[in-house]
Every structure is written in C-alpha cells, then in structure tokens.
Chains A and B, each alone.
Chain A
Amino acid sequence: MPKQGTSENHSAIILVVERDPHVRDLEAFFLNEAGFGVEFAADGEAALALAREIKPEIIITEVLVPKLDGLALCRAVRKEAELKDTVVLIFSILAAQSRAREAGADAFLMKPLAEQRLVQTVRELLASRASSKAEAVRA
C-alpha cells in the first residue's frame, strides 16, 4: 500500500502558492514526508497575506498564479522588512529563470515535480538561510 505523508518533526514551514490540485497534492506529500510543514495559498495576494501572518521559512510559488503572479509576489516579499529572511523559490512550468533572478528569487526550479530535486533544493536553501542568519548575528 502507498505510504501516507507525515507532518511530524516539522523543521520549517513552507508556504506553497499553487493552483494545480495535483501539484499541490504531490508537493504536500513529498514535503511533509521530508519533515516540513506545508501551508497553501491559491493566489499571490492570499499568499502575501498568509506570509505576513505565519512568516514561513520558504515560499515556493508558481509564476502563473492569479491576482499577483509569482514574480510580483517575490518582489513584494522582498520589500517587506518582516519577511527579509524568507527564502523564495520559483517553481514553474515556465522557463523563467532569468526573470526569477531579476525579481529577487533565491532559486528557480522547472516543473514537473521531481521530489528529490525539490526536497534537496529546499534543504540547501534552508541551510544557506541558517548560515546567513548566523553570520548576521555574529556581525
């Protein structure tokens, strides 16, 4: 029987901004299984509001989401002082790597979902974030 996802031992909260129900389902499963807590938003505006509230360690967003697209969301997050430590990962069907970089994203991944690549990228981003915060504290 297929194994079930677990939400135990969450080490970080990830906000996933995604409309596609299958991508949402699979992302939730694989990120939960890797030990992360996952929250969802279906559009950019809802995502920004939720991010202000829960202050996730990482936002994973598709570019093509309603109201505020993923790149605009990224720019908006970068302007929020309270979200300065939030990492943004653009995860899109579009080959928007350079636009993601220009928008201030920390990383870009192209769909479809490959769980090893996704989880590995998230872990690397979290490690980098922790390292940056530690350096800031020492400074």
Chain B
Amino acid sequence: MTAPITGENGLFPRIGTGNPQADLVLGGGLPANSINIVMGQPGTGKTVFAEQLLFCNAGAGRPIVYVSTLSEPMTKMVSYVQRFTYFDESRLGTEIQYEDIGPLLASDGPPALVPWLSALIKERSPKLLVIDSFRAIHDLGSSLSETRRMVSDLAGLLTAYDVTVLLLGEYTMADIERYPEFAVSDSIIQLARQTLGTRDERYMRVLKLRGSSYREGQHAFRITQDGIQLFPRLISPRVATTYTPRLERTSTGVAGLDAMLEGGVWAGTTTLLVGPTGSGKTTVAMHFALEGVAHKEPTLYVNFQENPAQLARSFSLRGVDLVKARADGLEFMYVSPVELQIDSIVVGIFDRIKGGRIRRVVIDAVGDLVTAASDTQRLHDYLYSLVQHFAVNGVTSLLTFESGISTDGSFDTGEQRFSYMSDNVLAISLAGDERTRRTIRVVKTRNSGHDPVVRELDITSAGARVS
C-alpha cells in the first residue's frame, strides 16, 4: 500500500502518515521533501508513529531507510514492530531497510553523520529517511558549535535531495530553543502523555508546519494494534453562520410537554434537560428518542451509565419493541464511564452524525463527561463545537444533566456553563415528604415563547406525562 500524495497544490505535495486522522490534523499529511521532528519522552509513541508512516509509504521503487543511532538495539525495534497490524515482513530488507550507525558515531562523533548519509543517498536513493534518535547524537558531540555545523550541513544535504526525513528524539520543550535542528525543520510534532488518576492520556500536537495550515491544539490518541488511533480536536464548523436552520417544530414525545413549548422544540436545536437523580431525565430522554424513531428520524442514543443490556431492558420495561425500534433507526452508543476519554467520545459522536443521516441525538448524561474530563474547559469547547455541528447538520438533540436537589430551580455554575450552549433549557425538580412529586418548567427557549407555569411531571411504568 502506498500513501496517497495529497496537498494544497502541486508545488507542495504531501506524504500520508498512514493515519487519515493525523493527515487531517497536518492539513493533508507531512510535506514531501521536508525535515520533520517527532519529539516526545520515551514511551509516547514516536517510533510507532514513524513505523506506521514508513510501512504505509513502502513500495513503488525507492526504499525507506530507518537509521538507529544509539538509543535502541535494532533487533529490539524489529521485534516489537511485528506486533502491529501494519507490519509486513515481506517489505523488510528491501523496501524498508534498517541501519545502525551507533558504532560509527561513537568512534567518529557527529561529523561522521553527513558523509555517511551522502553515501547512503548515492547508493540507495531513499525516498524516506528516519533517524532515531537524533537527540542522542548531541550527547556524542564535543561542543554545541560542532553539532551546529553538522546540523547545518545535514539540512543542506537533505534539502538538496528528494527525500522526506523524520528526526525522532526524546526532546523536551526547552530543547526547542537549545538545539539547531528545530530551526531548520519544516515541521515539529510533539507526542506527550499525561496521567489522569489511574489512566494515561496521550496527546499529539503540531508545533510548527511551514507553508501550511494545520489543526492547532492537543489531539488525543491511543496506541492500538493498528498503530496510532487519533481523535482530532473537534472545532466548530466554519459554516456555522451561514447554514439555514430548519423551520419546523418537532415533538419531544412527552405528552403535555410540547404544549409548554408552543408545539415542540425547533428542529435542529439543542435542549438541556436538568434535574436531580431519580427525577425522570432518562425516561424523558427515551421518549424524545422514540418520538424521532416514530417519525422515521434515525436517532442516536449515547449513554454512559447503563450498558447495552441494561438499556435494552429499560426500553423493554416501557413496552418498547426494541428490535423494531432498532430496525426503524434507533442506534445506541455506549461507553463505560471508567473508559471515558472525552476526545474519543465527542469525536465518536461527531463521526456518527457527520454523514447527515442521524436526525436526533440524546446524550445521557453530559455530567458523566464532566466527571471524566481532565480539562473541563476543553470539554466545554468540545461540546460547544459538537452542538454547533448538530445545528449545521439539522440534528435535534437532547442533553441530560444531573443537578443537585433543588426546589427553586437555581443552577449551579456547571449547569450554567452548559445552558449557554443550549437553545432550550428544561428543569425537573423533586419535592414532597410522603410522596415524591415531580415538576417541570421551561427555563429558556430561543426564538420561541413558552409556558411559564411549573407543571406536574408524572413518571409511571407507561412513561412520562406532563399535566
């Protein structure tokens, strides 16, 4: 398999990284005929990134050469790469060649690198070159001026020839100002890992990409058997100000609630449903989802608390023929709360709606995402972008949010931060000593009037009803 050559125009061709999502972040892939630095501490995935790229680009004539300096024995690297699905033994030795120049550098120092590479280019005409670890070469230099001369000479050689280069290294952010290769590089990609409780989260970030736009910020990724699985940071759609909203009311599916909303919510809007635990949010959310299915609107139900079997039972207990509902367009997306990583969840939802087929979405509950998020500002940015994508795609959505028990309907800060991104806000309250009494009120509706009266919300085995 050869990575497609893509790019903004013929002058600046790109090479694929073997990962379509990383290519998206990089604006189409790495620039061809360029010098690229992949930096990160040990274990962040630099080698996996590079190997995925080189196996993807192997073939079609000229070879790829992976050059090890000092950091890792070659046999160890070849041994580990076999565990990934992108590994193809038939390419080794011919299309992908491994070289170890550790002994040469140890005996002759950094100045030996450029003549060795020049000879390599003349002998093998490589189209891709990986040097791992480039940072380790600095440890062999007698002075910074010596390595500066070497890097300058190296940049001259590698710019002169039709080759794309990856320099891998265990660089820190402070190294960017210290080492000259950062000045001559065409791109800098940082891979990092941070610990959140018992979980580790990995991020990729583009720090520099000459002559091209790229998607800024941290992009979460995982390392799987298939290599790097990247979740590009969700950004608000560029067409947010130019789309045409759907001018039609759509039913919530809860008897009596539509009347409070002057006939239902506007299609393509987002509704936040707030209430304490046990108030019936999930029941209302189910009505909302099933109403969509009843009107042949493919509906995605995102849930973090009940696994698929539990959720199926909840629907069945309310008399729902789940087999029929699925056949009519009800889809579930379940992620265990202990596995929650907001990037993968939000990007996963986005991937499901971006084709334009899904017309309704329920997220039950966004509070679970808050609990899982290592960075709440990032979560809010993601959800805001997601809601914008809902609007542009004409998706009507309902987000549930668990609040503290309150009788006055006041919001805490967390709820307020979600309400600003919602077109409509509904609040359920619990009251009563001997018998629980639920009430619902409409807090806000954008571009619509609503019933100001607080009304009873009855939850029975038959479902929810406003009276």
Q: Give the interface size class of chain A.
A: 20 to 34
Residues in B with CB closer than 8 Å to A20 are: 156, 160
Using A21-B156, A26-B160 as known contacts, say yes or no to A112 and B33 having CB atoms under 8 A apart. yes
Closest chain B CB from A19 CB (angstroms): 11
B81 adjacent to chain A (CB < 8 Å):
no
B123 adjacent to chain A (CB < 8 Å):
yes
User: Which residue on chain B has the smallest CB distance to residue A20?
Assistant: B160
A3-B163 Cα distance, complex, nearest whole Å = 19
**From residue 1 to 25 of chain A, which have CB atoms closer than 8 A to chain B?**
1-3, 5, 20-23, 25
Contact A112 B161 (CB under 8 A): yes
Stretch at the interface among B114-122, B239-247, B441-449: B114-122
Contact B11 A26 (CB under 8 A): no
Residues in B with CB closer than 8 Å to A95 are: 11
Contact B160 A113 (CB under 8 A): yes
Residues in B with CB closer than 8 Å to A110 are: 11
Residues in A with CB closer than 8 Å to B123 are: 1-3
A40 adjacent to chain B (CB < 8 Å):
no
Contact A5 B160 (CB under 8 A): no
B312 adjacent to chain A (CB < 8 Å):
no
Using A95-B11, A115-B125 as known contacts, say yes or no to A2 and B119 having CB atoms under 8 A apart. yes
Contact A114 B122 (CB under 8 A): no
Residues in A with CB closer than 8 Å to B120 are: 2
Closest chain B CB from A37 CB (angstroms): 18
- Give the tally of cross-chain contacts (CB within 8 A): 44
Closest chain A CB from B114 CB (angstroms): 9
Residues in A with CB closer than 8 Å to B159 are: 22, 112
**From residue 104 to 128 of chain A, which have CB atoms closer than 8 A to chain B?**
110-117
User: Which residue on chain B has the smallest CB distance to residue A115?
Assistant: B125
**From residue 69 to 127 of chain A, which have CB atoms closer than 8 A to chain B?**
95, 110-117
User: Which residue on chain B has the smallest CB distance to residue A93?
Assistant: B159
Question: B160 contacts which of A112, A116, A117 (Cβ < 8 Å)?
Answer: A112
Residues in A with CB closer than 8 Å to B33 are: 112
Contact A3 B122 (CB under 8 A): yes
Residues in A with CB closer than 8 Å to B161 are: 22, 26, 112-113
Using A95-B11, A112-B33 as known contacts, say yes or no to A23 and B160 having CB atoms under 8 A apart. yes
User: Which residue on chain A has the smallest CB distance to residue B9?
Assistant: A95
B373 adjacent to chain A (CB < 8 Å):
no
A112-B157 Cα distance, complex, nearest whole Å = 10
User: Which residue on chain A has the smallest CB distance to residue B115?
Assistant: A2
Residues 148-183 of B, flagged 1 when their CB comes within 8 A of A and 0 if not, give 000000001101111100000000000000000000
Question: A114 contacts which of B11, B119, B162 (Cβ < 8 Å)?
Answer: B162
A52-B106 Cα distance, complex, nearest whole Å = 50
Contact B162 A22 (CB under 8 A): no
Closest chain A CB from B132 CB (angstroms): 21
User: Which residue on chain B has the smallest CB distance to residue A4?
Assistant: B122
Contact B121 A26 (CB under 8 A): yes
| 16 intermolecular pairs with C-beta atoms under 8 Å apart | A5-B122, A20-B156, A20-B160, A21-B156, A22-B118, A22-B157, A22-B161, A23-B160, A26-B118, A26-B161, A95-B11, A110-B11, A112-B33, A112-B159, A112-B160, A116-B125
List chain A positions with a Cβ less than 8 A from chain B.
Answer: 1-3, 5, 20-23, 25-26, 29-30, 95, 110-117
Give me the 8 closest cross-chain CB pairs, A-B, nearest first: A2-B119, A2-B123, A114-B162, A22-B160, A23-B160, A22-B157, A112-B162, A22-B156
Q: A22-B159, A22-B161 are in contact. List 4 more A-B contacts (CB 8 A).
A: A3-B122, A3-B123, A22-B156, A112-B161
